[in-house]
Amino acid sequence: MATLHHIHSINFSSVFPSHSSSSSLTKRSLSYKYKFPATGNRMARLYSSSDDRAKVFDVVIVGAGIIGLTVARQFLMDSDLSVAIVDKGLPCSGATGAGQGYLWMTHKTPGSATWDLSMRSHQLWTMMAENLQEQGLDPIVELGWKKTGSLLVGRTRAESDMLKGRVKQLSEAGLKAEFLGSSDLLKREPDLLVDKDTAAAFLPDDCQLDAHRTVAYIEKGNRNFASKGRYAEFYDDPVKCFIRSDCNGGVEAVQTSKNTLYSKKAVIVAAGCWTGSLMQDLFRNWGMEFHVPVRPRKGHLLALQNFNSLQLNHGLMEAGYVDHPSISDLESSDHGRDLSVSMTATIDAAGNLLVGSSREFAGFNTDLDESVITHIWKRVGDYFPKLRSLSVSDLSTSRKVRIGLRPYMPDGKPVIGPVSGLSNVYLAAGHEGGGLSMALGTAEMVVDVVLGRPGKVDSAPFAVDRVLE
Ligand SMILES: Cc1cc2nc3c(=O)[nH]c(=O)nc-3n(C[C@H](O)[C@H](O)[C@H](O)COP(=O)(O)OP(=O)(O)OC[C@H]3O[C@@H](n4cnc5c(N)ncnc54)[C@H](O)[C@@H]3O)c2cc1C
């Protein structure tokens, strides 16, 4: 689709004469806000009088990862509000583009804080895939959707006992779940290394998607609303500041490097791992402190194109994924490094083998680290002996490495809800390693909260206030 981010053209020179540097712009709009509150209304007046195509929307969303895009979709489909979405890059440039795509329940724990949200999301994703089918479209093509089932694999007696308990818990929570002992597991996955203690929790209804195909599908759907004047996207356009409203204590507009996007109803910040630093910067400019403790947790994922050397019938995850054993527990040479690698393996809709994944706190760095790839490959080889004969260097022509920054929250729960003291600002961030799976439930929750409707899932556990430091 042609670029939509220029569908409304506007000349800002009368509003912001000194466009030469974004910092001067930021300073100008914020200093005015802080010191001369009356100018905000003047700005809005100037805006509407100088150009009747001013960029005014009901909802402005910051961040076009899977969370921002699905929130946009939900507003478009479930209300008559207009929506603008803005990103400093492109939709898959954040964590979303690195995602493996599993939407599994197998490693989720019934009764945990995110259980209901994950269950609801799972249901909504399944409905989306079914709707596509009803329309005569293929969910594999549109979403990369595959119902492979998932296996959470344990290799010790203790893990096997844990998996039995998990299967019981998941069954009691209403999911189809089966405990597989070694011989049943081997029948399902002949290439897996299985000994007498190896066992798995099997969830036949678990599904996966392809993040890139799904994002493209959601964007396409959102763009259908552009011709009705209800949707616009502004990419490669970082948010620089908020313009504060004088009258209602909220945010009047989102100032990006190229645009001023006025919001009549709500500003949703869905900026993944950047949410904390972004909010901190925006508030600091007002002389206020606001600290959401979301942190980037770097992950590497290895994608092997058209990989035929391994038969993989389901999605696989090692039981240790639940608590991510650190590399220093696994290999003495990496003592002191906060790196963990847990085996996950899937085959995506295009036939690529995806194996992962690592977790590490390394700031906002997204550089490729070959030693992490070596760790991942070794870990996968521990489960699939066939792969041991191939070294990482043998893969160089057929491999792609995806690197992303998961939005980590210390208490393991995303923040979803209003920001106290700012009447129209909401956060939707901090989904760490489960943002793809929790996206649709999150989007539904955000829209229900903004519109003051009773939610399908209780939003209280995700309240922003719980984490403010
Ligand atoms: C290796 C790996 C594998 C994963 N596998 C899975 C999986 O199988 N299943 C699953 O459920 N989850 C998985 N995840 C986690 C999942 O990818 C994330 O939870 C999810 O993508 C988070 O989405 P998001 O929209 O919150 O963040 P992001 O996708 O990071 O989007 C945030 C957006 O905000 C934008 N932004 C930031 N600052 C600004 C600014 N100042 N102005 C404008 N825009 C801004 C960024 O450019 C970015 O596009 C995986 C993650 C990794 C790294």
**CA 94 to ligand 1 centroid distance, Å:** 5
pLDDT digits (tens, 9 = 90+) for 46-86: 333 334 345 999 999 999 999 999 999 999 999 999 999 99
Ligand 1 pocket check for 415: Cβ under 6 Å: no
| CA–CA dist 397, 380 (Å, integer) | 19
Cβ-contact 441, 124 below 8 angstroms = yes
Mutate to test the pocket of ligand 1, among 401, 409, 436 (most ligand atoms within 8 A of CB): 436
Q: Residue 336: its pLDDT value, please?
A: 54
Backbone angles phi, psi at 294, to 5 degrees: -80, 135
> Interhelix angle for 39-50 vs 22-35, to 10°?
130
Percentage of the chain exceeding pLDDT 70 = 85
CB atoms within 10 A of CB 9: 8
Q: Residue 263: its pLDDT value, please?
A: 96
Q: What is the DSSP letter of 390?
A: S
pLDDT digits (tens, 9 = 90+) for 398-429: 899 999 999 999 999 999 999 988 889 999 99
The DSSP string of 288-319 is -------EEEEEEEEEETT--S----SEEEEG
E-strand ranges in 308-414 read: 315-318, 339-347, 353-360, 399-408
CA pseudo-torsion sign 242, 97, 152, 369: negative
| CA–CA dist 354, 101 (Å, integer) | 10
CATH architecture of 22-96+212-294+412-467: 3-Layer(bba) Sandwich (3.50)
**CA 414 to ligand 1 centroid distance, Å:** 12
Q: Residue 443: its pLDDT value, please?
A: 98
Relative to beta strand 260-269, strand 178-180 is unpaired
H-run or E-run covering 436? helix 435-450
Mutate to test the pocket of ligand 1, among 219, 233, 431 (most ligand atoms within 8 A of CB): 431
Q: Residue 423: its pLDDT value, please?
A: 86
Ligand 1 pocket check for 436: Cβ under 6 Å: yes
Q: How far apart are the first and last CA of the chain?
A: 43
**CA 224 to ligand 1 centroid distance, Å:** 24
Q: Whose CA is nearest to atom 48 of ligand 1?
A: 94
Ligand 1 pocket check for 431: Cβ under 6 Å: yes
Ligand 1 pocket check for 299: Cβ under 6 Å: yes
| CA–CA dist 381, 104 (Å, integer) | 23
Residue ranges in the chain modelled with pLDDT below 70: 1-54, 322-337, 469
**CA 93 to ligand 1 centroid distance, Å:** 8
**CA 406 to ligand 1 centroid distance, Å:** 6
Residues 6+ apart with CB under 8 A from 306: 351, 352, 398
CATH number of 147-207+295-408: 3.30.9.10
pTM (predicted TM-score): 0.89
Mutate to test the pocket of ligand 1, among 26, 85, 87, 108 (most ligand atoms within 8 A of CB): 87
Q: Whose CA is nearest to atom 12 of ligand 1?
A: 434
Token pair 């596509």 is found at: 132
Q: Residue 289: its pLDDT value, please?
A: 86
Q: Residue 324: its pLDDT value, please?
A: 54
Sequence spans of domains, the chain:
22-96+212-294+412-467, 147-207+295-408
